[in-house]
Homo-oligomer: A and B are copies of this chain.
Amino acid sequence: MAAASPLAPERFPELPPIAGVTLASAHCGIRYPERTDLMLALIEPGSAVAGVFTRSKTPGAPVDWCRKALKHGKARAIVVNSGNANVFTGKRGRDAVAQTVGAAAKLLGCDPREVFVSSTGVIGEPLAAEKIVAALPEAAAAARPDGWTTAAQAIMTTDTFAKGATRSVEMRGARVTVNGIAKGSGMIAPDMGTMLAYVFTDANIAAPALQAMLVAGNERSFNSITVDGDTSTSDTLLLVATGKAGNKRVTRADDPALTAFRRALDEVLVDLAQQIVRDGEGAEKFVTIAVSGAASPRAARRIGLAIGNSPLVKTAIAAGDANWGRIVMAVGKAGEKADRDRLSIAVGGVPIAEKGGPLPGYDEGPVARHMAGRDIRLAVDLGIGRGRWTVWTCDLTHRYIDINGSYRS
């Protein structure tokens, strides 16, 4: 495995147990000879589930299945394999999903629609579902409430570190916890549901309310990051609520009792999304792009993503060059309302361009020091409205090309 990204967090966080959830990982030998490649999450009866999926027009068979299963609103198991995405595999791909779902449902004695599956890895090769089916019984027997780290490891592909996040808050007199794990490193782009991310809580919340919160939180987290502007065919974000925390059940997303929970959920989503950027293929710098003064929040996000997806901006950042001319270019190409003569740009908190021109004689020293660091902050103000959004991305380095020129070989 590649060395951990220089932007990786110091350690995987301590994720407390979530009552009603146990996890296991296993080695099925789908692709990687020497590591786990199967994650199994078991959920006790009575849970609610929400989900967001890729907006790709060529999604994988597992995504098709999850979309259908989600209508049932309940989850008993999540089965995820790495190494093979089961995408563009035709009827065999659908069969592989049916095999996996059927075996898990039989094992747990549940409705097949309560089994969610994801696959991540190479596209266009048949998935050997029988390897997953064979590994399921042992994995189910081994599932533990503290299996978060190994679960997060089992779903990695080109990731260099396992990704997890947790928050706890009070809710209607009960302590509720939100745990999440995620994977993602390349093929990370806007317009997605997300990469693979699984969030669990013991809160007692009905599925429609969960779904509404997840969709909203996803916009400001996974849908606000980009590594390479490429959208995966497998993006999946699931949120499971076991209801074991003991709080009085909440059924409506606009219930004030959800305020603290919503904030905790959003924080977990943003935390995981940022970790995916920090593990962006070849990333050497983590970049926060704060856009303000745009015509609308939506416009601010599109402008932020145009900056974050620009290869010229990303290569300049890799070189430590505060090349705001390229930022101007990216603002211009975003297709959103912009007025060259009202545009202001700050790098690392230092204003370097204002109202359509460079600030004469700004102090280049602090800017150069900021650009030499790991955490780059760009602020762009359009000067025409009140729309604001924050987008996260990474730089574009030689290592990105190395990684993606050799992924299949």
* Cα separation A332 to B191 with both chains bound (whole Å): 11
**Range, interface on chain A:** 35 or more
* Cα separation A325 to B124 with both chains bound (whole Å): 6
CB distance from A368 to the nearest CB of B (A): 11
B329 touches A233 (CB 8 A): yes
| Given A329-B56, A332-B233, A338-B58, CB of A324 within 8 Å of CB of B404 | no
Contacts of A307-351 to chain B: CB distance below 8 A:
309-312, 315-316, 318-319, 321, 323-326, 328-338, 340-341, 343
Contacts of A404 in B (CB 8 A): 311-312, 315-316, 319
CB distance from A252 to the nearest CB of B (A): 33
Give A29-65 as 1s and 0s: 1 = Cβ < 8 Å from B's Cβ atoms: 0000000000000000000000000111111000000
A192 nearest in chain B by CB position: B333
B323 touches A408 (CB 8 A): yes
Contacts of A337 in B (CB 8 A): 57
Interface centre among A228, A337, A340, by most chain B C-beta atoms within 10 angstroms, is: A340
A326 touches B123 (CB 8 A): yes
Give A73-95 as 1s and 0s: 1 = Cβ < 8 Å from B's Cβ atoms: 00000000000010111111100
Q: Which of B56, B319, B334, B398 contacts A406 (CB 8 A)?
A: B319
B92 touches A357 (CB 8 A): yes
Q: Give the interface SS of chain A, mostly helix, strand, loop or mixed.
A: loop
B396 touches A401 (CB 8 A): yes
Q: Which of B87, B186, B329, B401 contacts A397 (CB 8 A)?
A: B401
Contacts of A312 in B (CB 8 A): 186-187, 228, 230, 404
CB distance from A86 to the nearest CB of B (A): 11
A326 nearest in chain B by CB position: B123
Contacts of A91 in B (CB 8 A): 357
Asked if A253 is at the interface of the complex by the 8 Å CB criterion, the answer is: no
A328 touches B123 (CB 8 A): yes
CB distance from A369 to the nearest CB of B (A): 16
Asked if A355 is at the interface of the complex by the 8 Å CB criterion, the answer is: yes
A–B complex contacts, Cβ < 8 Å, 19 sampled? A55-B335, A57-B332, A57-B334, A58-B328, A58-B329, A58-B338, A58-B340, A59-B332, A87-B325, A87-B328, A87-B329, A88-B343, A90-B356, A191-B335, A315-B400, A316-B404, A316-B407, A318-B401, A323-B408
Chain A positions near chain B (C-beta within 8 angstroms): 54-59, 85, 87-93, 122-125, 186-187, 189, 191, 228-233, 309-312, 315-316, 318-319, 321, 323-326, 328-338, 340-341, 343, 353, 355-358, 396-398, 400-401, 404-409
Task: In the A-B complex, list the 4 residue pairs whose CB atoms are closest, starting with the nearest.
Answer: A123-B325, A58-B332, A319-B405, A90-B357
